[in-house]
């Protein structure tokens, strides 16, 4: 045990230093025991040492709480997965009335509702934040008809959080605490800034103009985004969370929180995913991915200058969590390296990126263009010998924001992958290793680009 702890700690220190991450916490559950490696500080401006109980913003790993809590309500007979969302949220209104009536609870949980990624709205910090958020959904267009394709949606999970409110009569945060955090003893997991600020917590960092880590001033997203990405937790609590999903649905005191069948149901494939680094399929919330011959379940998360990664291997009773407080060039790269190291070191499982094809100018020319969703733009261009991809927040959204937003990512290399599935991989920069694919219409023209499970539709320039 001591040797393993030292080895993990050595890897974490060397890799965090290599990527310039101010603070990281890594936890591994293997062979029935916990091992931690922590390095660095909570903040470049007000530094405290990071340890296994330091809270980081989880971003979208929070979705695993939302989905699991809803499964509790399903097993209690209070929610039905195949029921229309309007049974529980009758006020739901979308521009497409037929879709608003058809979307089911399960389609929210496996990202097949046809909703766009997210809305750039702040509905305040009051108890009505989620209700107000759902009211604003009437302004959003669908990216597909319900049930026809998977496309990752923060909006869908925030709507799922509203279902929890209407069914329980509690706020989302109070419902999650009573359904999960309290029975499972997750005492270092919270949504409320007032709870977090009394504990040791990490702040995000983005790279400043002189290349050093600068504190990100917006610590986490607004309350209306809590179900999709507003939780904060520690490495130790996230291993407790993983061990619950590896178990039989009981809490440590023996109380049955969920039937074991419900946990297994969450791992079963509900929809296939194409060309995604995140997984081969969705279960209920979980990304399902085969790595080196073993089936994994997991979820990642991003916040302003913070990243989280949770990976579970049920058949090997294994889990790894990595938390970091730096932008994608450092934090995302560190988390990926840490989880891959843990897989190889503890399980002998090797996870490698696929190799792109040599540059094909004719194929590359088809992909060049601008793509967008509600919040962000992708620009794919050619620099002569290859393709580049640039990812950024829409200028009008950045201009209208009254708080600091994460910086845009500069252009990075993009390579097309073998096969006829129109898949690609980012080969450099903060999104290195991320995979995606192009969508074509009946004529064969590219109409969209998926990246990290999110659809970006091609922007058509109308000539006058």
Residues designated as active site: 60
Which phi-psi region, left, alpha or beta, contains residue 145 (left: φ > 0; alpha: ψ -120 to 50)?
A: beta
Q: In DSSP terms, which residues pair with 391 in a beta bridge?
A: 378, 409
Q: Which residue has the tokens 């969703």?
A: 373
Q: In DSSP terms, which residues pair with 204 in a beta bridge?
A: none
| CA 17/CA 22 separation, integer angstroms | 8
Distances (CA, A) of 157 to 28, 71, 99, 121, 296: 28, 13, 16, 15, 22
Reduced to 3 states, what is the DSSP secondary structure of residue 403?
A: coil
Distances (CA, A) of 368 to 111, 206, 381: 27, 29, 5
Distances (CA, A) of 356 to 260, 388, 427, 451: 41, 13, 8, 16
Instruction: State phi, psi for 344 to the nearest 5 degrees.
Output: -75, -40
| CA 323/CA 309 separation, integer angstroms | 7
Distances (CA, A) of 348 to 235, 293, 294, 339, 355: 23, 11, 11, 12, 21
- The rounded radius of gyration (Å) of the Cα atoms in the chain is 21
Instruction: State phi, psi for 453 to the nearest 5 degrees.
Output: 80, 0
Distances (CA, A) of 287 to 75, 296, 300, 399: 22, 8, 9, 34
| CA 370/CA 31 separation, integer angstroms | 48
**Cα first-last separation, the chain:** 70
Residues 6+ apart with CB under 8 A from 218: 304, 403, 404, 405
């Amino acid at each position: 045990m001591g040797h393993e702890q030292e080895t993990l700690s050595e890897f974490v220190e060397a890799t965090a230093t290599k990527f310039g991450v101010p603070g990281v916490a890594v936890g591994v559950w293997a062979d029935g025991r916990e091992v931690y490696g922590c390095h660095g500080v909570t903040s470049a401006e007000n530094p405290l040492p990071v340890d296994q109980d330091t809270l980081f913003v989880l971003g979208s790993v929070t979705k695993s709480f939302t989905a699991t809590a809803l499964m509790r309500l399903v097993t209690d007979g209070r929610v039905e997965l195949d029921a229309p969302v309007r049974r529980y949220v009758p006020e739901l209104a979308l521009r497409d009335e037929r879709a608003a009536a058809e979307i089911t609870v399960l389609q929210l949980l496996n990202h097949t509702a046809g909703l766009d990624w997210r809305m750039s709205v702040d509905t305040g910090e009051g108890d009505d934040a989620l209700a107000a958020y759902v009211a604003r959904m009437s302004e959003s267009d669908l990216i597909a008809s319900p049930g026809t394709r998977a496309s990752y949606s923060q909006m869908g999970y925030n709507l799922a959080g509203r279902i929890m409110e209407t069914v329980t009569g509690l706020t989302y945060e109070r419902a999650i605490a009573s359904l999960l955090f309290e029975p499972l003893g997750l005492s270092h997991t919270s949504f409320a800034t007032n709870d977090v600020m009394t504990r040791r917590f990490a702040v995000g960092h983005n790279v400043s103009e002189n290349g050093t880590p600068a504190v990100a001033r917006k610590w986490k997203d607004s309350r209306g985004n809590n179900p999709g990405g507003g939780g904060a937790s520690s490495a130790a609590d996230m291993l407790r969370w993983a061990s619950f999903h590896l178990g039989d649905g009981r809490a440590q005191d023996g109380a049955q929180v969920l039937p074991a069948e419900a946990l297994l149901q969450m791992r079963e494939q509900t929809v296939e995913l194409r060309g995604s680094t995140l997984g081969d399929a969705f279960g209920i919330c979980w990304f399902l991915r085969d790595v080196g011959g073993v089936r994994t379940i997991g979820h990642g998360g991003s916040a302003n200058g913070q990243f989280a990664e949770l990976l579970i291997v049920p058949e090997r009773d294994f889990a790894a969590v990595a938390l970091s407080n730096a932008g994608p060039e450092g934090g995302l790269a560190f988390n990926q390296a840490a989880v891959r190291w843990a897989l190889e070191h503890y399980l002998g499982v090797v996870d490698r990126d696929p190799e792109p094809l040599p540059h094909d100018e004719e194929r590359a020319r088809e992909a060049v263009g601008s793509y967008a969703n509600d919040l962000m733009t992708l620009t794919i261009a050619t620099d002569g010998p290859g393709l580049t991809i640039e990812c950024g927040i829409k200028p009008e959204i950045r201009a209208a924001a009254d708080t600091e937003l994460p910086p845009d990512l500069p252009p990075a290399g993009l390579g097309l992958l073998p096969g006829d599935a129109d898949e690609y991989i980012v080969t450099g920069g903060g999104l290195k290793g991320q995979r995606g694919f192009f969508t074509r219409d009946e004529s064969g023209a590219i109409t969209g680009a998926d990246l990290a499970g999110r659809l970006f539709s091609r922007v058509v320039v109308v000539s006058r």
